[in-house]
Amino acid sequence: MRKVDPEKFEARKQQILAAAITCFTRKGFHGTSTAEICAEAGMSPGNLFHYYPTKQAIIAAIVEQDRRETAAYFAQIDQSRDLFDEILKFMDIVLELAADPAYSSLALEISAEAMRDKEIAALVSAYDAEMQASLSVMLRDAASRGQIDATLDPVETARWVAALIDGIFGRIAVDPGFHPLEQQANLHLLLTRFLRPGAKGAGKAAREQTVKA
Amino acid sequence: MRKVDPEKFEARKQQILAAAITCFTRKGFHGTSTAEICAEAGMSPGNLFHYYPTKQAIIAAIVEQDRRETAAYFAQIDQSRDLFDEILKFMDIVLELAADPAYSSLALEISAEAMRDKEIAALVSAYDAEMQASLSVMLRDAASRGQIDATLDPVETARWVAALIDGIFGRIAVDPGFHPLEQQANLHLLLTRFLRPGAKGAGKAAREQTVKA
């Protein structure tokens, strides 16, 4: 067997992923053949096989990459800041990603694929559980510092924050009138009222408050 | 051409839909052939064609049936009641449907199918728009009667209620720890705080309040 330079190997894998994402965004998973991915990446089909044995393996790698990026995002959060603000900031990023047609169509393709493929479903669930756990820790810490309502159960509340994330992508799929970047104030209002009822910004005059946030 | 008894024709279509739903729930859309649907319905493939020319037409009919049932539900709501309570009741039904494995797996299959099929996507979007419009009218009327916060925009708020419905089914897809029937109190708390902040049941002691609701 030929010796493989791990750095070159990794770079080539990244290049294939980028090419695959371009193809998937253009034509969906089912509409894209591995031959097209090879053409986009400028390599031969026989060569692709060394990096990813199947199209499913490429999809799995995309989920894994997104999971790593989300984990890295949670890891870099400045714990000295108001964690409620940090949750709002995270949700703003979700809105930005949802507003990116390439990201959102890929995310929706992955959800649909998870319905058909048990391995992809397991990866997506593991990613979701990890994200929910990170949110849950943030909510617990925020509650213990008085930054959000301490009577909320952090685990169950994280579930509903995750449900809102699902809902944002769900809206993208079915509702052409849902423009994520125009929904920031509404989402902040909902989260402020839910997570810190009675706080400044949670009342009836919250609209202007949240628009500038 | 033979004369068709419209009542018999409609009854046969309902029978085929029921057989198809049984098959789809068992094996998904892609895993089910029209031959299997015929076997389940006890009819010949040539005969099925008179009722539904394709599997897609059956899926479309399932969406249409669900749309009609939802429209009928909104039409029978007693307008003299507190419309906020009626919204909570509607969301309780969503939780019950999500807790039904046959309904929720079919709903998720339809969402996935809408990613691949423009006609199904158009039907799903039209259904969603109709449901959102009904919710929006309820929210507007509830606001004008002082049953919810009058500063909320009914159209945009209906979008977020719809996003929560997407989110409930999204959780079913990825989160084995999400048990819809156990989430009623959390959902009531979220909706109470969002839609009528400051009201009884929206505060910190809301948990017991909403559990009994």
pLDDT in tens, A157-189: 999 999 999 999 999 999 999 999 999 999 999
In this structure, are B96 and B5 located in the same domain? no
Chain B residues with CB inside 8 Å of A206's CB?
151
Chain A residues with CB inside 8 Å of B183's CB?
156, 159
- Confidence class of residue B203 from pLDDT cuts 50, 70 and 90? low
Kindly state whether A181 is in contact with chain B, defined as any CB-CB distance less than 8 angstroms: no
Among A53, A207, A115, CA closest to B28 = A115
Domain boundary among B53, B72, B89: B53
What would the mean pLDDT of A25-43 be, rounded to a whole number?
A: 92
Domain boundary among B34, B53, B72: B53
The tens digit of pLDDT for each residue in B104-123 reads 999 999 999 998 899 999 99
How many residues are present in chain A?
Answer: 213
Q: Considering only A91-100, A174-183, A191-200, which range has the smallest mean pLDDT?
A: A191-200
In this structure, are B83 and B27 located in the same domain? no
Mark yes or no for CB contact B151/A204 under 8 Å. Answer: yes
Smallest CA–CA distance, residue A193 to chain B, in Å, is 6
Does the pLDDT value for residue B42 go beyond 90? yes
Secondary structure element (H or E) that encloses residue B96, with its range: helix B83-99
CATH classification of the domain holding B32:
1.10.10.60
What would the mean pLDDT of B118-131 be, rounded to a whole number?
A: 97
What would the mean pLDDT of B178-189 be, rounded to a whole number?
A: 98
The tens digit of pLDDT for each residue in A61-72 reads 999 999 999 999
CATH classification of the domain holding B153:
1.10.357
Nearest CA in chain B to A121: B174
pLDDT at A1: 58
Quickly tell me which residue has 């943030």 as its tokens: A138
- Confidence class of residue A2 from pLDDT cuts 50, 70 and 90? low
In this structure, are A183 and A82 located in the same domain? yes
In this structure, are B114 and B178 located in the same domain? yes
In this structure, are A20 and A95 located in the same domain? no
Smallest CA–CA distance, residue B96 to chain A, in Å, is 16
Average pLDDT, chain B: 92
Q: What is the 3-state secondary structure (H, E, C) of A8-37?
A: HHHHHHHHHHHHHHHHHHHHCCCCCCHHHH
Structure ipTM: 0.91
Kindly state whether B28 is in contact with chain A, defined as any CB-CB distance less than 8 angstroms: yes
Smallest CA–CA distance, residue B11 to chain A, in Å, is 31
The tens digit of pLDDT for each residue in B53-94 reads 999 999 999 999 999 999 999 999 999 999 999 999 999 999
| Full domain range(s) for residue B3 | 1-53
A159 backbone dihedrals φ, ψ, rounded to 5°: -60, -40
What is the C-alpha separation between B34 and B23, in angstroms, rounded?
10
What is the C-alpha separation between A196 and A149, in angstroms, rounded?
5
Kindly state whether B211 is in contact with chain A, defined as any CB-CB distance less than 8 angstroms: no
pLDDT at B151: 96
Kindly state whether B94 is in contact with chain A, defined as any CB-CB distance less than 8 angstroms: no
Domain boundary among B53, B69, B97: B53
Categorise residue A150: left if φ over 0, alpha if ψ from -120 to 50, beta otherwise: alpha
In this structure, are B31 and B69 located in the same domain? no
Contact criterion met (CB below 8 Å) for A186 and A206: no
Nearest CA in chain A to B176: A125
Kindly state whether B30 is in contact with chain A, defined as any CB-CB distance less than 8 angstroms: yes
Does the pLDDT value for residue A74 go beyond 70? yes
In this structure, are A36 and A64 located in the same domain? no
In this structure, are A136 and A204 located in the same domain? yes
Among A160, A67, A59, CA closest to B171 = A160
Cβ neighbour number for residue A188 with a 10 Å cutoff: 21
In this structure, are B130 and B152 located in the same domain? yes
Give how many domains chain A has, as a whole number: 2
What would the mean pLDDT of B153-169 be, rounded to a whole number?
A: 98
Contact criterion met (CB below 8 Å) for B147 and B83: yes
- Confidence class of residue A211 from pLDDT cuts 50, 70 and 90? very low
A window 116-145, beta carbon within 8 A of B: 116, 121, 124-125, 128-129, 132
pLDDT at B206: 44
Q: pLDDT exceeding 70 applies to what percent of chain B?
A: 93
Contact criterion met (CB below 8 Å) for A150 and A143: yes
- Confidence class of residue B204 from pLDDT cuts 50, 70 and 90? low
In this structure, are A153 and A99 located in the same domain? yes
Average pLDDT, chain A: 92
In this structure, are B65 and B143 located in the same domain? yes
In this structure, are B160 and B133 located in the same domain? yes
